[in-house]
């Protein structure tokens, strides 16, 4: 039995609102990112920006998470904890994962940004992650199967010689941060529940240069690649519509410090 909630018009308009606010915060993070700043400064910016909107940063105190945003650098797969000790340096890649809570609804979105000039490997993994999210979203429409999202992502990412993280998945979202369904970023075509108009969930593929295995550090949050290889991630919150998909966290303009290599996969 599947317990995936179907949202009505009122809930959908609330989701549109919170997701637009989260997208705006992520957009405003880009311009501050440069070598020399700390991940704590990113945290403080996101925290203040979120409050200014009248929203709350959902990560703060979520299951004991101590900060207002996740900042995941290089081999960190996800759930990196901002720190005044971690200074960004030239060549780093950093995922900033923003989740807002506004009028009782959650909106979740992330992107990976380039600090200075990326190595060819860094550029590759970030662009594979970006394209993976796009291909996953392209599968979403009523009647499609949930597993089609993961199948499309896995086929592409592995075809590029990268691997797809298994231990973290996308998730239903609405009045709760994480709910059914679990959205795997790997799997088989034609499997899983059928998507229906009114479902809202995230798609947030994490792709690695090396193996897909991850390890969680002593802080109980920071997930890193087991082999130390680079990892990248992008996340959107989406709505299944009668015609297909609406990307609720879509942005108005290209993301500063992230969307620099638009033609990497000319399609
Ligand atoms: N935003 C993350 C996600 O995409 C969850 C972060 S939980 C936290 O699901 F506690 F680390 F913030
Ligand atoms: Co999420
Ligand atoms: Co997130």
Q: From first to last of its 267 residues, what are the pLDDT tens digits of the chain?
A: 558 999 999 999 999 999 999 999 999 999 999 999 999 999 999 999 999 999 999 999 999 999 999 999 999 999 999 999 999 999 999 999 999 999 999 999 999 999 999 999 999 999 999 999 999 999 999 999 999 999 999 999 999 999 999 999 999 999 999 999 999 999 999 999 999 999 999 999 999 999 999 999 999 999 999 999 999 999 999 999 999 999 999 999 999 999 999 899 986
Ligand 3 center to 110 CA (angstroms): 6
pTM for this one? Answer: 0.98
Match domain 9-261 to its CATH number in 3.40.50.2000, 3.30.70.141, 1.10.10.10, 3.90.230.10.
Answer: 3.90.230.10
CA pair distance 52, 46, nearest whole angstrom: 10
Residues with CB under 6 A from ligand 1: 59, 62-63, 65, 70, 79, 97, 99, 108, 202, 204, 221, 235
List the residue whose alpha carbon is closest to atom 11 of ligand 1.
79
**C-alpha dihedral, 73 to 75 to 80 to 81, nearest 10°:** -70
Ligand 2 center to 106 CA (angstroms): 10
List the residue whose alpha carbon is closest to atom 4 of ligand 1.
108
Question: Which residues keep their CB under 5 angstroms from ion ligand 2?
Answer: 108, 202
């Amino acid at each position: 039995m599947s317990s995936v909630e179907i949202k009505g018009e009122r809930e959908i308009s609330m989701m549109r609102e919170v997701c637009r606010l989260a997208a705006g915060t992520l957009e405003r993070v880009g311009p501050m990112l440069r070598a020399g700043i700390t991940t704590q400064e990113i945290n403080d910016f996101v925290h203040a920006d979120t409050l200014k909107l009248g929203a709350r940063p959902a990560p703060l105190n979520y299951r004991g998470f101590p900060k207002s945003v996740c900042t995941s650098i290089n081999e960190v797969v996800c759930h990196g904890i901002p720190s005044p000790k971690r200074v960004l340096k030239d060549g780093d890649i950093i995922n900033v994962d923003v989740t807002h809570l506004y009028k009782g609804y959650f909106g979740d979105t992330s992107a990976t940004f380039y600090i200075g000039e990326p190595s060819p490997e860094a550029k590759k993994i970030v662009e594979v992650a970006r394209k993976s999210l796009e291909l996953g979203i392209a599968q979403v429409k009523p009647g499609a199967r949930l597993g089609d999202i993961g199948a499309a992502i896995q086929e592409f990412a592995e075809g590029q010689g990268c691997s797809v993280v298994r231990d973290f998945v996308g998730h239903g979202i609405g009045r709760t941060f994480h709910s059914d369904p679990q959205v795997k970023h790997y799997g088989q075509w034609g499997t899983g529940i059928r998507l229906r108009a009114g479902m809202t969930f995230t798609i947030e593929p994490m792709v690695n240069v090396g193996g897909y295995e991850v390890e969680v550090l002593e802080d109980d949050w920071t997930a890193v690649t087991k082999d130390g290889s680079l990892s990248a991630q992008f996340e959107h919150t989406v709505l299944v519509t009668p015609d297909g998909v609406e990307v609720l966290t879509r942005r108005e303009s290209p993301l500063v410090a992230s969307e620099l290599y638009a033609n990497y996969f000319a399609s």
